[in-house]
Chains A and B, each alone.
Chain A
């Protein structure tokens, strides 16, 4: 059975006056129907750029999608013009996104209602009256009280958490097949984070939408994602079922991530939190060898001599890109 979304060898580069930044350098992954997938990695690892590339939202003067295929329902989206009719149908209608900053992601001069109804009118061809009714229903769905009044209000009159809910309402308004949530909870407080994540999980289950959560926060994906991709320096370094990744991490980077995460029930004497040494890589002039090498405590001589390893299977559905079998050292 073919996947809903299949990305093959995606490469997105940025031309800057300091050189070519290889933000995404050969990324392949898939999303099936009705599943929640996490895309995890530190700031600058290319996870946001990856998802933005699938719907061609990368600004193309400095950016360029250099290679790869984005197969949605079997059709390669990259063959379409970024500003063309076909992509317009896909965006919002089949693949929807919500972004990190609720405070700046809504247009300040348009009413909340208008920003919801315009997608309904565009993708579902609704007339303004039914669109407005549906918009009120959507606001109720995401848990916003007084939906009718809220429709006529402006974004600045709502709090950050509410604006994010409005974004979710807009994104889900046309029943997309995939919802991409790009750092959806980074800019809100802890309590709101939990509420938003619960809401998203409930809604995607109800509407049979797939959800991709892009985040640097392991805690978020641990609870909600069924499968996880770990990214580093523009590539996927480990992928697998959520349980496998957390209970049996294999890539040194993933291991490092989990080592610096405190666990419930641990006391001070149980374990020291160990941060990953070194700095994030400079994505210009990357060496051919493994990008994690400078920070890796498992490396062997082969790592310096060979190119960055390909992902290989280590168990069912568990892939890792490393020359070392880290299970021996644990």
Chain B
């Protein structure tokens, strides 16, 4: 098992390196000289050639492409993510202010999705064909069709602008005021988690039904075990094996969704930072930001893979 974890870790590192390479190359394919963009946005009217050369050197743009990549990687490993050309601030600093916000909303959404999605799925499977199964399944089928950002606008329209029950968004740190923080978080979390709840409900239901039709469940009945024991001890643990994969996928989806939701609700998180940086061609932020997100995704996939071992002894003992 330890060998398995180590192998997956090493694989993760390789993948992250590839991510950096891909993003770096992608950003360099940008048409236009980033320095020109910076100049066009800055206050100073005219730059002399010497000043330009100095700026170019300051941002490392005078080195060859491979050298730029290597020095960027080298800096990252030392904790230095570079300086944003457009905003003039340290990238690491910017990210450190934004990332926790996204993680706050993301983690809330993930927990809510996992909890509700799995529970709904189990209930539907156990009450298969009854009205609650039909209702929840229909809702889940609708849930995976909702554009999250559109739902955000709808909720905002109803609950903020019309009913004035909730604030229109923004971010209140939980340390400042937990009540306010949660109030502001309700709508964004609903939008971020809805798809995952619906998806997990469907997958859990399907996995439970699949397990229930297996031979070993018939064996359990033939031993005289009661229904409750069969469900909790025999069925659910088996059903969780495929569900864990789906759960792991939600991490990436929630991050992707946060780009849109943070825009709708004016939340100062990573998603909005990345979106804005893309439009302003601030490639330092995009590179570093994408890498950070990839790290989180790879780590969560690793956790999923490890938890497979806990759920499925066939993985643990090969």
Given contacts A99-B219, A107-B216, A107-B238, contact A123 B314 (CB under 8 A): no
Task: Look across to chain A and name the residue whose beta carbon is closest to the beta carbon of B235.
Answer: A107
Closest approach, in angstroms, between the C-beta of A174 and any C-beta of chain B? 8
The tally of residues in B whose CB lies under 8 Å from a CB in A reads 25
**A110 with B233: CB separation less than 8 A:** yes
- A192 contacts partner chain B, Cβ-Cβ < 8 Å: no
**B222 with A88: CB separation less than 8 A:** no
Task: Look across to chain B and name the residue whose beta carbon is closest to the beta carbon of A94.
Answer: B224
Given contacts A104-B216, A109-B238, A154-B313, contact A97 B225 (CB under 8 A): no
Task: Look across to chain B and name the residue whose beta carbon is closest to the beta carbon of A106.
Answer: B216
A223 to B129, CA, bound (A): 47
Q: Which of A108, A119, A167 contacts B312 (CB 8 A)?
A: A108
Closest approach, in angstroms, between the C-beta of B208 and any C-beta of chain A? 14
Task: Look across to chain A and name the residue whose beta carbon is closest to the beta carbon of B219.
Answer: A105
**Which of chain B's residues have a CB closer than 8 A to the CB of A57?**
218, 221-222
**Which of chain B's residues have a CB closer than 8 A to the CB of A110?**
233-234, 237
- B130 contacts partner chain A, Cβ-Cβ < 8 Å: no
A247 to B216, CA, bound (A): 40
Q: Which of A85, A96, A118, A154 contacts B317 (CB 8 A)?
A: A154
Q: Which of B215, B224, B229 contacts A105 (CB 8 A)?
A: B215
**Which of chain A's residues have a CB closer than 8 A to the CB of B229?**
118
How many residue pairs link A and B with beta carbons under 8 A? The number is: 79
Closest approach, in angstroms, between the C-beta of B133 and any C-beta of chain A? 13
A154 to B312, CA, bound (A): 10
**B223 with A109: CB separation less than 8 A:** no
**B215 with A101: CB separation less than 8 A:** yes
A153 to B316, CA, bound (A): 11
- A199 contacts partner chain B, Cβ-Cβ < 8 Å: no
- B227 contacts partner chain A, Cβ-Cβ < 8 Å: yes
A63 to B285, CA, bound (A): 63
**Interface footprint category on A:** 20 to 34
Scoring B223, B313, B314 by chain A CB atoms within 10 A of each residue's CB, the highest score goes to B223
**Which of chain B's residues have a CB closer than 8 A to the CB of A154?**
313-314, 317
- B78 contacts partner chain A, Cβ-Cβ < 8 Å: no
**Which of chain B's residues have a CB closer than 8 A to the CB of A119?**
223-225
A74 to B312, CA, bound (A): 44
**Which of chain B's residues have a CB closer than 8 A to the CB of A157?**
317
Within 8 A of A (CB), among B212-251: 214-216, 218-227, 229, 233-234, 237-238, 241
Q: Which of A88, A104, A109, A167 contacts B313 (CB 8 A)?
A: A109
Given contacts A88-B225, A154-B313, contact A107 B220 (CB under 8 A): yes
- A302 contacts partner chain B, Cβ-Cβ < 8 Å: no
Closest approach, in angstroms, between the C-beta of A115 and any C-beta of chain B? 8
Closest approach, in angstroms, between the C-beta of B228 and any C-beta of chain A? 10
A49 to B219, CA, bound (A): 15
**A91 with B317: CB separation less than 8 A:** no
Within 8 A of B (CB), among A48-103: 55, 57, 61, 83, 85, 87-93, 96-97, 99, 101
Closest approach, in angstroms, between the C-beta of B301 and any C-beta of chain A? 22
**B222 with A97: CB separation less than 8 A:** yes
- B311 contacts partner chain A, Cβ-Cβ < 8 Å: yes
**Which of chain B's residues have a CB closer than 8 A to the CB of A61?**
129
Q: Which of B215, B216, B227 contacts A83 (CB 8 A)?
A: B227
Given contacts A108-B314, A109-B237, contact A118 B216 (CB under 8 A): no
Interface of B toward A, CB cutoff 8 Å: 129, 214-216, 218-227, 229, 233-234, 237-238, 241, 311-314, 317
Apart from the given pairs A57-B218, A57-B222, A122-B225, 4 other A-B contacts in the complex at a CB distance below 8 Å: A104-B215, A107-B234, A108-B312, A156-B313
**4 closest residue pairs by CB, A with B:** A92-B224, A91-B224, A92-B223, A104-B215
